[in-house]
């Protein structure tokens, strides 16, 4: 089992929390609530109003979330759900425990309050430059006063299917959304690849542009 810190739609009471308690996805055992030791910018962006934790430590706020112990199956599910590593990257982050699962009689292995843990967090380095200037949040709530509720993906709305049956479709939808929101960055990368490829071809025939 490894520990994962969730800060967005996978938290209790949020739109995607049912995936965390669906045994078909694997095992996720809630261990308590935590707070990032370092500050991070947590923003809501894109046409789906997705919460993104930008991997810029030292900027923003200490972010509140939930700590789960997950097995390999659930970790693989979360990687696919978060389109890791294309949209999000799973990285270890230090988390301070602020509340245990059951403070009166915590199960064995439950981290102590005020202890510092290393948990996996799905943050991102692949974001639009203007996202840095969006409002930063310390505790995400899809139904908060910001007026930016999370929008379910079209695949889930149109088919009513669970992500377990359509993981590939979900991944494709995420990638298309990412490409649409980062079109110019993708275009620049494409031009660089074409330029390098053309140069290699020129070198093969003895021409150096």
Tens of pLDDT, residue by residue over 93-112, are 999 999 987 666 666 678 88
Say if 37 falls within a structural domain. Answer: yes
CA distance 8 to 143: 11
Catalytic one among 38, 66, 82, 130?
Answer: 82
Say if 83 falls within a structural domain. Answer: yes
Alpha helices, H only, 15-130: 72-81
- pLDDT band, very low/low/confident/very high, at 209 (cuts 50, 70, 90): low
CA distance 104 to 181: 46
**pLDDT at residue 155 greater than cutoff 50:** no
- Domain CATH number, residue 44: 3.10.490.10
In the three-class reduction of DSSP (H, G, I as helix; E, B as strand; rest coil), residue 97 is classed as strand
pTM of the model: 0.73
- Looking at the structure of the chain, the number of domains it has is 1
Residue 117: its H or E element: strand 116-123
Say if 180 falls within a structural domain. Answer: yes
Q: Check if the beta carbon of residue 96 is closer than 8 Å to that of residue 113.
A: no
Domain that holds residue 51: 2-204
In the three-class reduction of DSSP (H, G, I as helix; E, B as strand; rest coil), residue 20 is classed as coil
pLDDT at 103: 61
Q: Answer yes or no: 82 catalytic.
A: yes
Say if 209 falls within a structural domain. Answer: no
């Amino acid at each position: 089992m490894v520990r994962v810190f969730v800060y967005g739609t996978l938290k209790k009471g949020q739109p995607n929390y049912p995936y965390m308690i669906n045994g078909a996805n694997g095992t996720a055992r809630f261990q308590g609530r935590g707070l990032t030791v370092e500050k991070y910018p947590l923003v809501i962006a894109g046409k789906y109003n997705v919460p993104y934790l930008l991997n810029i430590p030292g900027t923003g706020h200490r972010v509140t979330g939930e700590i789960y112990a997950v097995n390999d199956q659930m970790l693989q599910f979360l990687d696919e759900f978060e389109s890791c590593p294309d949209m999000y990257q799973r990285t270890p982050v230090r988390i301070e425990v602020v509340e245990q699962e059951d403070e009166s009689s915590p199960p064995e292995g439950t981290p102590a309050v005020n202890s510092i843990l290393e948990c996996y967090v799905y943050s991102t380095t692949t974001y639009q430059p203007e996202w840095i200037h969006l409002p930063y949040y310390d505790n995400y709530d899809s139904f908060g006063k910001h007026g930016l509720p999370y929008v379910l993906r079209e695949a889930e709305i149109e088919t009513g299917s669970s992500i377990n049956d359509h993981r590939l479709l979900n991944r494709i939808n995420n990638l298309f959304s990412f490409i649409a929101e980062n079109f110019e960055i993708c275009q620049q990368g494409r031009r660089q690849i074409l330029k390098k490829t053309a140069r290699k071809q020129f070198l093969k025939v003895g021409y150096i542009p």
